[in-house]
Amino acid sequence: MGEIMDRTKVMLRDLKISEVTKPTTVYVWDMDETLILLKSLLDGTYAAPFSGLKDKKRGIEIGKQWENLILKVCDEYFFYEEIEDYNEPLLDALSEYDDGRDLSKYNFNNDGFGFPYDDLNKRKLAYRHRSIKEKYSQGLHKILDQQTIKLWTDLYNLTDSYSDGWLSSAHDLLKQTFGRTDKGPGSISINVLVTSGSLIPSLAKCLLYRLDDVISADHVYSSWEVGKLRCFSWIKERYGGPNVKFCAIGDGKEECEAAQAMRWPFIKMDLRPTSPYRFPGLTMKVVQSFIDVAYGSSDAEVEEIKEACSTEAKLVHLTLNQLDASLPNMRTLIS
């Protein structure tokens, strides 16, 4: 693990933006049960807070279909059977071993990759990481057959419908971070993903859950071996500066504690249908209010935030009242 951390630190030093002169906000996202749903479908915890209004067995079936599709993409296109035991915290972690060789005619099946994990095999793994990165940038429509694309599209739409728009709402919010103009011309927003899962399946999830247009491959970090605090530290080292603000969003204790250690604002996601910290529900105004509380804002911004939060609180209250009023009718319909 020490070698991974030292090597990644050197690599990130090379990638670091030399001088951040424009106002920049870095959104550090968790994956499962934050931007996507998977584990909570498989174990029924997504359906549980709905008190029977969601079909738990249907959610489990949807989760199993996602598992199968993720493994299919990993094994057939991302070399996962070969490299499963060689997890790295991000795709560029082995860039120093990559000599830039043309891979268009490279025979991955017969290059002898495997034990021992020496410099030669690290180069072969770096080739695989570069190939995965290229496929990620192309998108799944360029590599999957039509039958699999239809299966994937149907599953995404089914999941989004079952979750009342969780997936599409999460994607819309990430898109909004790119289109922000309220912080002045030239401001920069960056979406970074830090997941406790291993790297290759996490990249496959990003593609399958349609996050590849809002999170680039080199902004996906795996904390599998090193922990989220170490990943957060790397992110701060890579993007940190006097004009940079960070905000972490996730559902777990580890990312919460890591954000506290970094003194970053943290938004804890909540699966309960009445919570505003879920999808749909979480908005850019709410996220910005957490950032402004942590980093401070002008008097004018404070008033704007208060007004926005007051409006959203009224909407949430109205929505909850409507939901409470509709529950007896909904239960009557399904009984």
Q: What residues act catalytically?
A: 30, 32
| Cα 300 from Cα 212, distance rounded (Å) | 36
| Cα 263 from Cα 282, distance rounded (Å) | 22
- The DSSP code for 218 is G
- Neighbouring-strand partners of residue 26: 190, 246
Q: 266-268 and 244-250: which strand pairing?
A: parallel
Q: Which SS3 state, helix, strand or coil, does residue 35 take?
A: coil
Q: Which SS3 state, helix, strand or coil, does residue 179 take?
A: coil
The reply to whether 218 sits in an annotated binding site is no
- Neighbouring-strand partners of residue 246: 26
The reply to whether 172 sits in an annotated binding site is no
Can you give the length of the chain in residues? 335
* Contact yes or no for 225/12 (Cβ under 8 A): no
- Neighbouring-strand partners of residue 248: 28, 266
Considering only CA atoms, which of 54, 64, 56, 217 is closest in space to residue 134?
Answer: 217
Q: Torsion over CA of 204, 206, 208 and 210, rounded to 10 degrees? A: -160
* Contact yes or no for 213/53 (Cβ under 8 A): no
Considering only CA atoms, which of 124, 170, 174, 193 is closest in space to residue 269?
Answer: 170
> Residue 138 has which token pair?
């192309």
- Segments in the chain forming alpha helices (H): 2-15, 39-42, 56-77, 80-83, 119-138, 146-162, 166-178, 199-208, 228-239, 253-262, 284-295, 299-334
Residues 6 or more apart in contact with residue 12 via CB below 8 angstroms: 234, 237, 238
The reply to whether 251 sits in an annotated binding site is yes
- The DSSP code for 108 is G
Residue numbers in the known binding site are 30, 32, 251
Residue numbers in the known binding site for Mg(2+) are 30, 32, 251
